[in-house]
Structure 1
Amino acid sequence: AEDAVVVNDGTFNLRKIVDGVDAASFPAGTVFPVTATWEIDGEEFTESFDLPADGSVVPSGLDLPEGTVVSLVEGDLPDAPEGYSFVSSGVSADTVTILADGNADIAWSVTNTYKADELVVTGVSGAAEAAIAGALLVLAGGGLLLIRRRWSAV
């Protein structure tokens, strides 16, 4: 009698998390690319995934042998929403190890942190105040000019 070979396969899920900015601030359809690489019996495999900004879970759709180590790397980031700047990126792990079927799927996430751009402080709180101050300076200068002309005429 031959022994039956039992293959335990597993999978993983991916998710994008944005911090410091509402996901709705990104244009509709914005995705964050992630590349997964792994090796089976000496052969290397690569798969690309596009993770939506809204944090939806993206199933890998892969059935990989138990113990397979998958490396995950985030690709080029889309532009930050208007009024925000990218600060940092953090992954839940650089790799995931596939568990046997029957175990919970492995969830991998990458968090990108953004901050609101700061407004430049000019020292003037409003245009009206600046206009009044400018007008007063012009009037004061005009008054000095009149006084000087009167003294010159005498």
Structure 2
Amino acid sequence: MNDEINYTNNPLHGLGLQELLTQIVDHYGFEILYAYLNINCFKTNPSIESSVKFLKKTEWAREKVEIFYLYQYKNLPRVSSEQFELPPRKRIIPEGQTPREPAELSFEDAERVREKQAKKAAEHGKSKRYKEREFENLWKR
């Protein structure tokens, strides 16, 4: 029962991958998604259907998109360190925190984020989890 209550405090609860993608593509477009996420399904002949097919098979990419949805499109505040370690669909949004207007994104900001990621990765090694943490931290304010 406790898990049911917790999951309802997550904007991803009950939201299918196709609907999630439709929302962020309608708002940002495939070009911005590729610029920020660097996932080829958003660059080469992008479509909702082909992207959903790829993301269903590729956990790391799906989590990257879900993180983008939570912290850019829903513009949620930073999560606690305990929640940070959980996959996006298992995170609990604290009571009283509600989604805000989607973040304003630009190609210039995407390039700055990529440069910052590359610099941090070079400084601290290239472990997968480190890159994922940095990816999330770059968007949190």
Per the normalisation by structure 1, the TM-score is 0.21
Per the normalisation by structure 2, the TM-score is 0.23
Greater fraction helix: 2
Question: Whose radius of gyration is greater, 1 or 2?
Answer: 1
